[in-house]
Amino acid sequence: MVLVKWNVSMANSEMNCETPILRNKAYQAPSVFTPENLLREARRQKAVPHGNIPTICILDPDGDIVHYLVSTGQAVAHANWACYHTKLYVFQREGINYGIVPHVVGASFAVLVAEELFASGCRLLISMTSAGQIMPIGQPPYFVLIDRALRDEGTSYHYLAPAAYSSISPMLLRCLENAFVGTDLHVRRGATWTTDAPFRETTAAIEYARSEGILGVEMEAAALYALAQVKTHDVVCFAHITNQMAQVEGDFEKGLNQGSHDALHVIGLAARSWLS
């Protein structure tokens, strides 16, 4: 076995260089690789015909909502979804048609699928992700309407110039500000921290997030809001605060049917506000 000793001077030299992810970014330039062309080739290879998808679509990173809907006969796979990596399910609830994609975990995957959904006819994308509690403002589970997200991931820097946060569209936020008034749902509004590395949530990082007034930590919102700003798409991200990062026993409890009833209620109220 060969042991390689890390060269400290080389490490320090690398640290002094500009971070590679910030180099060679032409933010106003179009991408050579587009979701439309990817879907074109996927349809060809998989013999998937063209077809409309619902106007309102949902990202379900945990997959619990889709599991509940499919297992109770409320959702079926969409025959015209051509994505190489995912399945799109469709369902109707209170007169509104939805598409929903499960297991879209992490910023880069979420944005890849979001780009494909918008290229296929989606007009409002709702992300409903589990999140860890940062500021102890209540006993989980509860929901946070994310108004801004700390950009501690990589994908947003391919869409937007460096900045601490990316934010929901102010117009969309105004549309949703009264959506949950008078309900028994616990929906707060505030900031989250979007990380690429959930198992690097250190004490120092958590303390910094708390000093910023951040309510929860999740893995998608900063990148989705960056995409939304650049492409002028309507995207709203919710954090379902369900855990304290496994620091207590009995953590990660989401409620009835893994929180699906309450999550669908939140989604429905947001969708109805947007439609109105």
Phi, psi dihedrals of residue 114, rounded to the nearest 5°: -60, -45
On the question of pLDDT at 3 being above 50, the answer is no
Question: Does 1 fall in a domain?
Answer: no
Q: pLDDT, tens digit, for every residue of 190-244?
A: 999 999 999 999 999 999 999 999 999 999 999 999 999 999 999 999 999 987 6
105-126: average pLDDT: 98
> What pLDDT does residue 5 have?
46
**10 has pLDDT over 60:** no
Structure token digits, residue 130: 């589990």
Strand runs (DSSP E) across 119-215, as ranges? 124-133, 142-152, 165-167, 187-195
Please state, as a whole number, how many other Cβ atoms lie within 10 Å of the Cβ of residue 175: 17
Residue 4 within any structural domain of the chain: no
Q: What is the pLDDT of residues 133-151, one digit of tens each?
A: 999 999 999 999 999 999 9
Which range marks the domain in which residue 199 is found?
36-275
Instruction: Give domain status of residue 54, yes or no.
Output: yes
**pTM of the entire structure?**
0.92
CA distance 163 to 32: 25
User: Does position 189 have pLDDT exceeding 60, yes or no?
Assistant: yes
Q: Annotate 116-132 with DSSP letters as a single string.
A: HHHHTT--EEEEEEEEE
CA-based diameter of the chain, in Å? 66
Q: For 234-254, give the DSSP string.
A: EEEEEEEEEESTT-STT----
**Residue 228 domain-assigned (yes or no):** yes
Confidence class for position 186, pLDDT limits 50, 70, 90: confident
Find the range with the poorest average confidence among 2-11, 81-90, 175-184, 190-199.
2-11
Task: Encode pLDDT of 38-91 as tens digits.
Answer: 999 999 999 999 999 999 999 999 999 999 999 999 999 999 999 999 999 999
Residue 251 has pLDDT above 80, yes or no: no
Decide if 262 is inside a domain.
Answer: yes
CA angle 179, 153, 39 (to 5 degrees): 75
Residue 13 lies in a domain: no
Show the DSSP H helices in 185-259 as ranges. Answer: 203-211, 221-231
pLDDT at 172 over 70: yes
Report which of 63, 235, 262 is spatially closest to residue 149, judged by C-alpha positions: 235
The answer on pLDDT for 120 being more than 50 is yes
Rounded-to-integer distance, Cα 79 and Cα 86, Å: 12
Question: For residue 205, what is the domain's CATH number?
Answer: 3.40.50.1580
Is residue 244 domain-resident? Answer: yes
What per-residue confidence (pLDDT) applies to 243?
Answer: 75
- The answer to whether residue 69 sits within a structural domain is yes
> From start to end of 66-134, where are the E strands?
75-77, 89-93, 96-102, 124-133
Q: Which among 208, 207, 171, 165 has a CA at the least distance from the CA of 190? A: 165
Q: Burial letters for 122-159: b for 16+ Cβ neighbours within 10 Å, e otherwise?
A: bebbbbbbbbbbbbeeeebbbbbbbbbbbbbbebbbbb
Overall number of domains in the chain:
1
Contact 224, 111 (CB under 8 A): yes
Question: At what angle are helices 107-119 and 221-231 packed, to 10 degrees?
Answer: 30
Cβ pair 122, 52 in contact under 8 A: no
Percent of the chain predicted with pLDDT > 70: 91
What was the pLDDT predicted at 237? 98
